[in-house]
Chain A
Amino acid sequence: MGSELAVEAIGLEKAYDRVRVLDGVDLEVARGSVLALLGPNGAGKTTTVRILATLGRPDAGQARVAGFDVVTERRQVRRRISLTGQYAALDELQTGEENLRMMGRLSGLSGAQARRRAGELLEQFDLAEAGRRTVATWSGGMRRRLDLAASLVGQPSVIFLDEPTTGLDLRSRQAVWQVVTGLTGSGVTIFLTTQYLEEADRLADRVAVLDGGRVVADGTSEALKRQVAGQRLDLVLADPPAFEDAAHLLGGRAVQRDPKRLTIGVATDGSAAHVRALLDEVDPTRGAVERFAVHSATLDDVFLALTGRPADRPETDENENENEKEPAGV
């Protein structure tokens, strides 16, 4: 069973300046599969990746990557992995081709091999045309693709991607998704971190949710969404008294409350039967609920359901801030 695992971590702990970042992280990733480590800012995603990629030492716990211990067999691990961090690891003053050839030489390829590999990768990532220009002239999306290409030069068997699409526009994000999807099925294992449920959903075979330095949920994307309710029913109430009544009735089952907009969100599986039952329960007199809408679960919903509090996010809206202060349980 052990040999089927590309990544195996038990009880990883790490603290920086007495702040506990990881508090016993357990993870298993089957060889050839894609795992998404989902979590808000500060959950410990990057710390976990750095430890698994041998760049940081755990204070406690053990981890094996590609069959080797990340602390005692660091060099063996490094020959089998690649890491793409949040910030592009590229030289702006080198051309795309030079960047790739340099990485090839550093992974032990001969000059000719490195040139051939760079050519292949530029072609594969649709960068051949720009390959001879310095990276300083490239767009953010192109850089991200080159960064991914650079991580593949040495043909790693385990690929770590730390928030590969954070800060990218939709088109570049889709290009990255395409690359990752293209890599699956070739036997490589992909370990990616993300703040976006949609990304985890689309790319990963399994999703692990990290919160406060612990894995709070781990399973297939489907199972996870079932666990947290894949959908959310938003009810718009007719008036404030109706809102109060509904809020009182639903209590902790309300995953979202917005008194100003008279809106309450409830978890649902999205089936007509369940929605009908919920409506009947909240509004037996058929006058309290004005409108309703069913949404896919968001990362906020997942976090709310799993941790009892919302995930971190940019605070742009006053109402949202109010919501965050509301206590809400599963």
Chain B
Amino acid sequence: MSELTASPTAAPRLSLRPRPLAALAGAVTMSGRSLRMARRNVDVLLTSLLLPVLIMLLFVYLFGGAIETGTRYVTYVVPGVVLLSAGFGAATTAVSVTTDMTGGIIDRFRSLDVVGASVLAGHVAASVVRNLASTVLVFGVAFLIGFRPSAGPLDWLAAAGILVLFILAISWLSAAFGLLARSPEAAGGFSFLVMFLPYPSSAFVPIDTMPSWLQGFAANQPVTPVIETLRGLLLGLPLGSSPWKAVAWCLSILVASVAVSGVLFRRRTT
């Protein structure tokens, strides 16, 4: 027996779909899966919905009185809380990705010829839906405690756009981190990193109240232009160059994370 000469089995069980179409169909199935599971994971669901609201109440009622921002503090802080919760929620993508990669299910997916990108895109899409839901909740409570934005419909649309872009970027970054982590617990650490990033920014206090050595970082880190854009859009303040910086940051993180995820996924699975 020196030659491999087997002929194909009778009939393929299904025709080969074009690759991009199969990837899209796979991603839709996978995001349905992620959303279903997120809905049933009660602990995580409660944390991701209640934590942002609690943080907002904490800042407005406990710290708010002592912080001078030139406007009512609730008005100042809402964009920051929205961003904090979106980032935190998106970062949990890392845990879902690691759980898939370290369990048996990734082998099953791969032996079904599911495109790797579909698996990751499913988690990211579910993350966007989840975090938009928690954002709506934060806005709802904010209105109840006196948040009065002056934004018109177009401003709201633009704000939603920048928020979705930010969630997308952080979700893909988390997915890349989830591919690096060796256990779901390790992946959980990423949430904390992302959760702390908004603190040294203009999210909760104006940057000029910080020590000068911190101001440089706070003014130039990615979260600040996103917050300034949100705040400007919602409160009708001058936007300056913030929107462009915000979009540039988010797109760079997004493109880099997608590329890195692709490489990591291939390396992890061969």
A residues with a Cβ closer than 8 A to B are 2-3, 5-6, 8, 10, 28, 31, 50, 53-57, 62, 64, 66-69, 75-76, 78-91, 93-94, 98, 102-103, 105-109, 134, 150-151, 154-157
B103:A89 contact, CB within 8 angstroms: yes
Query: Per a CB cutoff under 8 Å, which of A67, A93, A150 touches B9?
Result: A67
Which stretch of B29-37, B172-180, B184-192, B232-240 is in the interface? B29-37
**B residues whose Cβ falls under 8 Å from a Cβ of A:** 1, 3-9, 12-14, 16-17, 22, 25-26, 29, 32-33, 36-37, 40-41, 103-105, 107-114, 269-270
Identify which of A84, A103, A106 gathers the most chain B CB atoms within 10 Å of its CB.
Answer: A106
In the bound complex, do residue A2 and residue B104 qualify as a contact, i.e. CB atoms below 8 Å apart? no
Q: Which residue of chain B is the closest to A6 with respect to CB atoms?
A: B9
Rank and list the top 9 A-B pairs by shortest CB-CB distance, nearest first. Answer: A89-B108, A2-B5, A87-B104, A78-B113, A67-B8, A89-B104, A93-B37, A83-B111, A67-B6
Chain A hits for B33, CB < 8 A: 91, 94, 98, 102
Known contacts A57-B270, A66-B8; A86 and B104 CB within 8 A of each other: yes
A-B contact pairs, 26 of them (CB 8 A): A2-B6, A6-B9, A50-B107, A53-B111, A54-B110, A55-B107, A67-B9, A75-B16, A78-B112, A78-B113, A79-B13, A79-B113, A83-B108, A83-B111, A87-B103, A89-B103, A94-B40, A98-B33, A98-B36, A102-B32, A102-B33, A103-B108, A108-B17, A134-B40, A156-B13, A157-B9
* Closest B residue, CB atoms, query A2: B5
Q: Which of A69, A89, A94 contacts B107 (CB 8 A)?
A: A89
Contact A79 B14 (CB under 8 A): yes
Residues of chain B with a CB closer than 8 A to A28's CB: 1
Assembled-state Cα–Cα distance A94/B37 (Å): 6
Residues of B within 8 A of A93 (CB): 36-37, 40-41
CA distance in complex: A109, B8 (Å): 22
Least Cβ–Cβ distance between B128 and chain A, in angstroms:
19
Q: Which residue of A lies closest to B29 (CB)?
A: A105
Given contacts A83-B107, A87-B104, A103-B108, contact A31 B14 (CB under 8 A): no
Given A55-B107, A89-B103, A64 contacting B112 (CB threshold 8 A): no
Q: How far is the CB of B125 from chain A (nearest CB, A)?
A: 15
A29 to chain B, nearest CB (A): 11
Chain B residues near A103 (CB, 8 Å)? 108, 112
CB distance from A70 to the nearest CB of B (A): 11
Contact indicator B111/A79 (Cβ below 8 Å): no
Per the bound structure, the CA–CA distance linking A108 and B22 in Å amounts to 8
Having A93-B41, A94-B36, A107-B112, one finds 19 other A-B pairs with CB under 8 Å, namely: A3-B6, A50-B107, A54-B110, A55-B111, A62-B4, A64-B4, A67-B9, A78-B111, A79-B16, A81-B111, A83-B107, A83-B111, A85-B107, A89-B107, A91-B105, A94-B33, A106-B29, A107-B13, A108-B22
Choose one: A55, A64, A69, A87; the contact of B110 (CB below 8 Å).
A55
Tell whether, in the assembled complex, residue A10 and residue B103 are in contact, meaning their CB atoms are under 8 Å apart.
Answer: no
For residue A75, which residue of chain B has the nearest CB? Answer: B113
> Given A55-B269, A93-B37, do A154 and B8 touch, yes or no (CB 8 Å)?
no
Contacting residues, chain A, for B107 (C-beta < 8 A)? 50, 53, 55, 83, 85, 89
A136: nearest chain-B partner, CB-CB: B40
- Contact residues in A for B36 (Cβ distance below 8 Å): 93-94, 98
Give the residues in chain B near A87, CB-CB below 8 Å.
Answer: 103-104
Q: A56-B270, A82-B111, A106-B114 are in contact. Are A64 and B16 (CB under 8 A)?
A: no
A107/B14 in contact, CB under 8 A: yes
How far is A62 from B5 in the complex, measured between Cα atoms in Å?
A: 12
B111 touches A3 (CB 8 A): no
Contact B7 A2 (CB under 8 A): yes
Contact of A8 with B105 in the complex, beta carbons under 8 Å: no
CA distance A235 to B4 in the complex (A): 49
**Nearest CB of B to A67, in Å:** 4
Give the residue name and chain of the B residue nearest to A88 (CB). B104
Given contacts A56-B270, A57-B270, contact A80 B9 (CB under 8 A): yes
Whether A89 pairs with B105 at a CB distance below 8 angstroms is: yes
Which chain B residue lies CB-closest to A28?
Answer: B1
The residue on B at minimum CB distance from A66 is: B9
**Complex Cα distance A3/B5, Å?**
7
Note all chain B residues with C-beta closer than 8 A to A75.
Answer: 16, 113
A3 touches which one: B7, B104, B270 (CB < 8 A)? B7
